[in-house]
Amino acid sequence: MRHPTTRWRFLLGFALLAASLSAPLQPLRAQAPGEADLKAALVYNFALFTEWETGGAESAGRSFTICYAGPETAAAFAQISAKSMRTRPIVVRPIAAEGPYDGCQVAYWDGSHARRALPRKAGHGVLTIGNGAEFLQHGGMIEIHLEERRVVFSINADSAKGAGLRFSSKLLRLAKNVVAGAQ
Protein backbone atom coordinates (compact mmCIF):
# COMPACT_ATOMS: atom_id res chain seq x y z
CA MET A 1 0.00 0.00 0.00
CA ARG A 2 1.23 3.47 -0.83
CA HIS A 3 2.02 6.02 1.83
CA PRO A 4 -0.97 8.44 2.24
CA THR A 5 1.14 11.48 1.24
CA THR A 6 2.29 9.73 -1.93
CA ARG A 7 -1.30 8.84 -2.80
CA TRP A 8 -2.43 12.49 -2.39
CA ARG A 9 0.45 13.76 -4.52
CA PHE A 10 -0.41 11.22 -7.19
CA LEU A 11 -4.10 12.18 -7.14
CA LEU A 12 -3.25 15.90 -7.24
CA GLY A 13 -0.90 15.40 -10.19
CA PHE A 14 -3.48 13.33 -12.02
CA ALA A 15 -6.19 15.95 -11.36
CA LEU A 16 -3.93 18.72 -12.67
CA LEU A 17 -3.22 16.72 -15.82
CA ALA A 18 -6.91 16.07 -16.41
CA ALA A 19 -7.79 19.74 -15.80
CA SER A 20 -5.07 20.98 -18.13
CA LEU A 21 -6.32 18.71 -20.92
CA SER A 22 -9.83 20.11 -20.72
CA ALA A 23 -8.75 23.76 -20.94
CA PRO A 24 -9.67 25.44 -24.26
CA LEU A 25 -6.78 26.99 -26.18
CA GLN A 26 -6.11 29.25 -29.11
CA PRO A 27 -4.93 27.52 -32.30
CA LEU A 28 -1.46 25.99 -31.89
CA ARG A 29 -0.02 28.33 -34.54
CA ALA A 30 -0.65 31.41 -32.39
CA GLN A 31 1.18 31.17 -29.08
CA ALA A 32 -1.30 32.77 -26.69
CA PRO A 33 -0.01 33.72 -23.24
CA GLY A 34 -0.07 30.61 -21.12
CA GLU A 35 -0.26 28.13 -24.00
CA ALA A 36 3.45 27.36 -23.83
CA ASP A 37 3.10 26.94 -20.05
CA LEU A 38 0.29 24.43 -20.60
CA LYS A 39 2.39 22.45 -23.08
CA ALA A 40 5.35 22.38 -20.70
CA ALA A 41 3.08 21.23 -17.87
CA LEU A 42 1.70 18.47 -20.09
CA VAL A 43 5.20 17.30 -20.97
CA TYR A 44 6.10 17.19 -17.27
CA ASN A 45 2.92 15.24 -16.42
CA PHE A 46 3.40 12.82 -19.32
CA ALA A 47 6.84 12.03 -17.86
CA LEU A 48 5.31 11.51 -14.41
CA PHE A 49 2.96 8.88 -15.85
CA THR A 50 5.69 7.04 -17.77
CA GLU A 51 7.90 4.21 -16.56
CA TRP A 52 11.39 3.65 -17.96
CA GLU A 53 12.89 0.14 -18.13
CA THR A 54 16.27 1.83 -17.67
CA GLY A 55 15.19 3.84 -14.63
CA GLY A 56 14.57 7.12 -16.47
CA ALA A 57 12.75 8.90 -13.66
CA GLU A 58 13.70 6.54 -10.85
CA SER A 59 17.52 6.52 -11.02
CA ALA A 60 18.87 8.13 -7.89
CA GLY A 61 21.68 10.65 -7.95
CA ARG A 62 21.35 11.86 -11.52
CA SER A 63 19.30 14.70 -12.91
CA PHE A 64 16.27 14.08 -15.13
CA THR A 65 16.74 15.92 -18.44
CA ILE A 66 13.85 17.33 -20.49
CA CYS A 67 14.97 18.59 -23.89
CA TYR A 68 12.90 20.81 -26.15
CA ALA A 69 13.06 22.27 -29.66
CA GLY A 70 11.29 25.56 -30.16
CA PRO A 71 12.43 28.88 -28.70
CA GLU A 72 8.81 29.92 -28.10
CA THR A 73 8.62 27.39 -25.25
CA ALA A 74 11.95 28.23 -23.56
CA ALA A 75 10.50 30.33 -20.72
CA ALA A 76 7.81 27.73 -19.97
CA PHE A 77 10.34 24.92 -19.78
CA ALA A 78 12.62 27.03 -17.59
CA GLN A 79 9.82 27.06 -14.99
CA ILE A 80 9.81 23.25 -14.95
CA SER A 81 13.46 23.19 -13.90
CA ALA A 82 12.33 24.24 -10.42
CA LYS A 83 10.44 20.95 -10.07
CA SER A 84 11.73 17.45 -9.56
CA MET A 85 10.94 14.16 -11.23
CA ARG A 86 10.19 11.94 -8.30
CA THR A 87 13.44 12.40 -6.33
CA ARG A 88 15.60 13.69 -9.17
CA PRO A 89 16.22 17.35 -10.01
CA ILE A 90 15.03 18.39 -13.47
CA VAL A 91 17.36 19.94 -16.01
CA VAL A 92 15.85 21.49 -19.13
CA ARG A 93 17.85 22.29 -22.23
CA PRO A 94 17.18 23.27 -25.82
CA ILE A 95 18.03 20.93 -28.68
CA ALA A 96 18.03 21.20 -32.44
CA ALA A 97 14.97 19.54 -33.97
CA GLU A 98 17.22 17.11 -35.83
CA GLY A 99 19.20 16.15 -32.70
CA PRO A 100 21.40 15.03 -31.14
CA TYR A 101 19.28 13.83 -28.22
CA ASP A 102 22.09 12.49 -26.02
CA GLY A 103 21.31 12.68 -22.31
CA CYS A 104 17.59 13.43 -22.79
CA GLN A 105 14.97 11.37 -20.97
CA VAL A 106 12.24 13.44 -22.66
CA ALA A 107 12.42 15.20 -26.03
CA TYR A 108 9.67 17.68 -26.99
CA TRP A 109 9.26 19.38 -30.36
CA ASP A 110 6.90 22.33 -30.78
CA GLY A 111 5.09 23.39 -33.96
CA SER A 112 7.21 23.42 -37.09
CA HIS A 113 10.08 21.83 -35.15
CA ALA A 114 7.96 18.68 -34.76
CA ARG A 115 7.71 18.36 -38.55
CA ARG A 116 11.52 18.37 -38.79
CA ALA A 117 12.04 16.05 -35.81
CA LEU A 118 13.35 12.55 -36.13
CA PRO A 119 11.70 10.83 -33.17
CA ARG A 120 12.86 7.34 -34.26
CA LYS A 121 16.46 8.51 -33.92
CA ALA A 122 15.93 9.80 -30.38
CA GLY A 123 17.05 6.45 -29.05
CA HIS A 124 16.19 3.91 -26.40
CA GLY A 125 14.74 5.36 -23.21
CA VAL A 126 13.74 8.76 -24.65
CA LEU A 127 10.08 9.79 -24.35
CA THR A 128 9.25 11.67 -27.58
CA ILE A 129 6.46 14.26 -27.59
CA GLY A 130 5.41 16.65 -30.37
CA ASN A 131 2.46 18.59 -31.68
CA GLY A 132 3.02 18.22 -35.40
CA ALA A 133 0.73 16.44 -37.79
CA GLU A 134 1.69 12.82 -38.35
CA PHE A 135 4.16 12.88 -35.45
CA LEU A 136 3.06 9.41 -34.34
CA GLN A 137 3.48 7.96 -37.83
CA HIS A 138 7.12 9.08 -37.77
CA GLY A 139 7.81 7.18 -34.55
CA GLY A 140 6.76 9.77 -31.96
CA MET A 141 5.15 8.49 -28.78
CA ILE A 142 2.77 11.30 -27.76
CA GLU A 143 1.20 13.79 -30.16
CA ILE A 144 -0.50 16.86 -28.69
CA HIS A 145 -3.16 18.49 -30.88
CA LEU A 146 -6.28 20.63 -30.80
CA GLU A 147 -9.71 19.22 -31.35
CA GLU A 148 -12.72 21.50 -31.08
CA ARG A 149 -10.57 24.11 -29.31
CA ARG A 150 -9.44 21.62 -26.64
CA VAL A 151 -6.03 20.11 -26.15
CA VAL A 152 -6.06 16.36 -26.66
CA PHE A 153 -3.30 13.85 -27.16
CA SER A 154 -2.75 10.55 -28.89
CA ILE A 155 -0.29 7.84 -27.95
CA ASN A 156 1.77 5.42 -30.05
CA ALA A 157 2.11 2.54 -27.59
CA ASP A 158 4.34 0.48 -29.91
CA SER A 159 6.93 3.27 -30.22
CA ALA A 160 7.05 3.60 -26.45
CA LYS A 161 7.39 -0.15 -25.92
CA GLY A 162 10.18 -0.32 -28.52
CA ALA A 163 12.08 2.39 -26.64
CA GLY A 164 11.71 0.65 -23.28
CA LEU A 165 8.92 2.86 -21.93
CA ARG A 166 5.52 2.02 -20.49
CA PHE A 167 2.66 4.45 -19.96
CA SER A 168 0.44 4.39 -16.89
CA SER A 169 -3.03 3.01 -17.51
CA LYS A 170 -4.37 6.33 -16.21
CA LEU A 171 -2.53 8.23 -18.95
CA LEU A 172 -3.74 5.74 -21.57
CA ARG A 173 -7.35 6.29 -20.46
CA LEU A 174 -6.98 10.08 -20.85
CA ALA A 175 -5.61 9.78 -24.40
CA LYS A 176 -7.96 10.56 -27.28
CA ASN A 177 -6.39 7.70 -29.28
CA VAL A 178 -4.00 4.91 -28.45
CA VAL A 179 -2.41 3.75 -31.67
CA ALA A 180 -0.63 0.45 -32.07
CA GLY A 181 1.46 -0.27 -35.13
CA ALA A 182 1.58 3.35 -36.40
CA GLN A 183 5.21 3.09 -37.41
Segments making up each domain of the chain, as ranges: 4-179
Residue type, 170: K
Q: How much is the average pLDDT of 118-136?
A: 82
What is the bridge-based pairing of β-strands 88-94 and 84-85?
antiparallel
Confidence label for 154 from pLDDT (cuts 50, 70 and 90): very high
Residue 4 is predicted with a pLDDT of: 46
What pLDDT, in 10s, does the model give residues 161-175? 999 999 999 999 999
How high is the mean pLDDT of the chain?
A: 78
Query: Per mean pLDDT, which range of 48-52, 113-117, 156-160 is the poorest?
Result: 113-117
Angle at the Cα of 65 from the Cα atoms of 60 and 70, rounded to 5 degrees: 170
Please check the confidence at residue 15 and state whether its pLDDT lies above 50.
Answer: no
Hey, which CATH number is domain 4-179, 3.30.70, 3.40.50, 2.60.40, 1.10.3470?
3.40.50
Considering the entire predicted model, what is its pTM? Answer: 0.77
Tally of CB atoms within 10 A around 99 = 17
* Backbone Cα Rg of the chain: 15
Residue scoring higher pLDDT (18 or 126):
126
In order, the DSSP letters of the chain are: ---HHHHHHHHHHHHHHHHHHTSB---TTS--TTHHHHHHHHHHHHHHTEEETT-TTT-TTS-EEEEEE-GGGHHHHHHHTTSEETTEEEEEEE--TT---TT-SEEEE-THHHHH--GGGG-TT-EEEE-STTTGGGT-SEEEEEETTEEEEEEEHHHHHHTTEEE-HHHHHH-SEEESS--
